[in-house]
Structure 1
């Protein structure tokens, strides 16, 4: 057994005492088993203000506040240390001068070799500054929390690094509709539309924020009830002291109203620009037309003078050709003047329905064979003050334009109605509030893009092939309507057709009444049905078309059996097939009839031929088929058709 010399032990105790006495950042002292102070170092004197002579022999409870004394904390601290081997806590302590400081306290029991309690070692550290810093931070965080929670115009919330919502303010609840309990822990991607989710915008937004320090954008977002709002979004990354990403701060603002206001302003600016452009172009075209009319006056009068002295047939023919060209030029200038609203008008009060019905035959002929024209005319349409010929010209231009948009056939409808414009409505149309008559032409054609719609009324603008249009038809319509005090609007969707609506001011008098109070949709006349005429000779085809048109039929034509089968295979309603028997391209009229009866069993068929009926192969045609010999008169044709309808 090694015995440590007494001198060595004393030396070590002395050095340890010197070490303890030298420590000034910690109060290190000893207590006897009852809590009386038996040693005191420089740190204890600095913290607590007592000198060694003042404190030795006194109970350590005098360092505790009245609140802690009331709960007997000093006694309980010593008992805990003795029982558990350690007592550690933080709390307020009292200095000699009565001031308080925040202390971190550790009390360890001291026992001899046999385990007998000799006393306690007590180490105290002054953490007042740290406590003040923590309190200031806590108060700052609390103020910030109250600030964020008090904001209702912005959604301010945090996300974890994966994008899950970790807190939620009142503004977020107001804007997005979720309560805090409903949304905490959910992924923020549920605020995004399906279109944004398909492009993984939420993931890309967080990646951008983490990589670049911020993500900022505007877009549509979803509320809890499924409605959408236009949002301004900012996402900032949150990093700790070591630069590690611990989440994201997300701020969202509902700017839907601002977006609507901006869109309204853009629309107003575009409308103003369009009006200014059309006005400028109108002034230009009006000037050109005026000067061109002066030149035409000279040309036409000189041609008239030449006509008086012309004797040779060749000279007469050349002059007449020049006169026709001059007349065509005069028509072009009239269209230019109409667009520029300088065309002299002779307005009178008219019923739009009467004008349309009186012009119907021309409109039907303009539609062509593959277009089915229908009229839907309001029975109590308001009268308007217009120049009737100019009205008919404008309507014809709209019909021709619609027809050209349906090269493969389709439906075309002319509709009239009464319109009352309110203050809000009149703002968008630049018309004063009041009563108007509406005349609309709607087709099922190719439609137009918004860019083309914005230019359709410009002179010489056309989407047709070179040589198939002057580009003045719709500009004439625009000029006529605006000069008549009205407004014209185009609604078109590519692939779905176009609707052109003319609004003309209604007149106080001249309202035509009818027994029918409701608007009805009907053919413009008592149509006998639709006939498909198959004839390869143009002259004969024209005569047959005129006869059937005079008999009340809507006419569709084909020049051979193959074209006819394409028509029958479509959706167009056909009541009668009228076909020549002898036709080119292989299939004759009888074979076409058999094929037609297979496709449409209820179809009435009338075959025309210069051969005797006994020589025609009519087996298998069955009932509902009749023959007529060439040459035929319209009375004979009408009788045959009557027999087909009655089964006679």
Structure 2
């Protein structure tokens, strides 16, 4: 039968003649032996794992363990503060019951400490007896004692040096752990069996839904089976000595994760660095789509120009033919040729729309209100026999491009109308996906997508409508999705077709009018103007001119609701540094830099940005206020 390891360890501790207690980094009892309870006459609830250190101190103080204590609260608070900054130590002290104990404590690598208590009453008695009889000792014994004393002093000096080295190592380890905890990434180490031996407790930040305390867990337990299956081939590669860097999409959180596995040859383990690169991936997808559009524009512009010239010539020649005396049978042919040429011109305009330069310009939007307006716009284009239902549970505002989103959803609704035929139902829903995406889904009760359409519907010019369709509708919606860093998904349902436009979710600011604002702006005139805008909106304002000054104010004023900072401010650090420096407060950025500036582009990937110049109404909308400028 398998051994109960915890029971074996506890039994071993109970056999030790000294009292032992182990407390964790949260000042909770992790383990102790029966000698600890007996030595200090502790009740059961204070020797049970999880017992509070401060409560144990209070019990011992009331028992007289520390002598007369005038102010119990101050005494307990001081001892708790000392425990949080635990240092290795050795001391001897008398107890209220007349016994004498030695107390030796040492910090643990993972936080917390272990303390050993030894009853040295008998040893002290023997030392006293030797001192009283020292005059009876022979001169030779005294000399030997002096020699031993000198040796002991040397040993004590060596021990002190070793303790100092241990303290320095402990301080170094504490600084290293603090550094890893401040990193916006998960840093960890697993042994050859795949169990965590170190973690900076950031796994839950990088991959939401996972535990923070994972030391001792197997990597499959921490990540879950789906994510573990994705990383396992790379982990095995690293355990074999080959480093590996890769990305995968976590199905539980819908986040894009980049992982680096580095072999630890000394222990046959693996160092792990994992980061959430969802926003970076979304921005990269948008940039790639922009580049594709630029390439398409370059490739098609010359062809479109020549084709346009040919259509112009065809239209001119057909007009001349129409004025010439020709047989009646020629008129339908001329009319058909003119219609085809004009349709070719319309097609060129659609191609120009696709290849022309467009940008995704997000702004704060009320999703429910936007969809209500969209339903009003789209309904007249539908026959009475086709019903359009629009629903959303979303109440928070999001930052989206209303123009491109409206065009895309109208396109999907009109496609659904064509699929329904004479009668049917179209449903448009919007919902959040794990606080990472926002899905706009259009479903219909039509015939659904054919296998060929599911495979090629996003290709330019593909259509199932014959000469009535251009084949550019879904392609343009797909283009919009990629431009924003999102996705377009096609599927069939039990009753028809489903198209989901998935866009990156960026929550828009929404603050109460009486919030305290930290304004970071180095231009006195601008600072005065923006401060007046904020105070007229009901906010209280404190001001800074640099990142260092803003951080100091944020640490000293806990009531700050949010930070409004320019990107280019006083000092070497830009305002964008405040996003990472103040993770517990929303940071919004303003800038007069052009949209093409790399600093402006970077700012958009980490925070909401309000371009300058802006009005009070612009600022109110940006912060989620509903006002009317006067």
* Category of TM-score, reference length = shorter chain: 0.3 to 0.5
- What TM-score comes out, normalization by structure 1 length? 0.35
- What TM-score comes out, normalization by structure 2 length? 0.35
**Larger of the two Rg values belongs to structure:** 1
